[in-house]
A and B are shown apart, each in its own frame.
Chain A
Amino acid sequence: QQQVKQSPQSLIVQKGGISIINCAYENTAFDYFPWYQQFPGKGPALLIAIRPDVSEKKEGRFTISFNKSAKQFSLHIMDSQPGDSATYFCAASRSGGATNKLIFGTGTLLAVQP
């Protein structure tokens, strides 16, 4: 019940296309859903995050779509660019716990071809 399942494991998209990465969770107590972006040789960095009181959050070309009833959330990258090539991790946590521990998905390696 603590898992966050992420798919696909890898993704190849043409420049200008839309990249879509999906995550699903079981624990209905989760109430914070961030996405982290990791470039080769670097640590993950927060990209965008959403709370379940909204169904969508957009920051530039990056959008999180959230479906509370389906317990799913996804990252959409519009007009994908080669500079977006990275590994993307979804994550989830719940408030009220002692640590607010983030549970990470297994990651998606995105390659945007020029």
Chain B
Amino acid sequence: EAQVTQNPRYLITVTGKKLTVTCSQNMNHEYMSWYRQDPGLGLRQIYYSMNVEVTDKGDVPEGYKVSRKEKRNFPLILESPSPNQTSLYFCASRGLGRGELFFGEGSRLTVL
């Protein structure tokens, strides 16, 4: 089954404790991206990657890091989480061009 898998789905952490949200896709997609979803703000892009070792900032990259060492994986790293990073995070992927964007089921993060 074609899918984007995120882990963990739910996480409560404290300010400053580094965490990683993993994302993996099994569709051989070149393009991967991270979004955060907040009430009234919709989906905002954090980082994206066009291919292995090629990453770039989206609209709200502050406080986040990413890496793309393998085509299928695109982890999101919060080096020092803060309460304003409490949000619902989605990883997404698609092939090159403008095909359908496939989303994971989301990771709800709470930073205390």
Number of interface residues of A (CB under 8 A): 23
Range of interface residues on B (Cβ < 8 Å):
20 to 34
Q: Does B1 contact A (CB under 8 A)?
A: no
- Across the interface, A42 reaches (CB within 8 A) one of B45, B50, B106, namely B106
Cβ contacts under 8 Å, B44 to chain A: 104
- Across the interface, A43 reaches (CB within 8 A) one of B40, B41, B48, B105, namely B105
- Across the interface, A98 reaches (CB within 8 A) one of B4, B50, B92, namely B50
- Across the interface, A89 reaches (CB within 8 A) one of B42, B56, B105, namely B42
Dominant secondary structure of chain A at its interface with chain B? loop
Q: Does A1 contact B (CB under 8 A)?
A: no
B106 adjacent to A41 (CB under 8 Å): yes
B103 adjacent to A89 (CB under 8 Å): no
A44 adjacent to B103 (CB under 8 Å): yes
Q: Does A68 contact B (CB under 8 A)?
A: no
Q: Does A71 contact B (CB under 8 A)?
A: no
Q: Does B43 contact A (CB under 8 A)?
A: yes
Per-residue CB proximity of A14-41 to B under 8 Å, as 1/0?
Answer: 0000000000000000001010100001
Q: Does B104 contact A (CB under 8 A)?
A: yes
- Chain A interface (Cβ < 8 Å from any Cβ of B): 6, 9, 32, 34, 36, 41-46, 89, 93, 95, 98-102, 104-107
Task: With A44-B101, A98-B50, A104-B42 given, name 18 new contacts (CB 8 A).
Answer: A32-B98, A42-B105, A43-B4, A43-B104, A44-B43, A44-B90, A45-B102, A46-B100, A46-B101, A93-B98, A95-B98, A99-B31, A101-B45, A101-B48, A104-B35, A104-B44, A106-B40, A107-B42
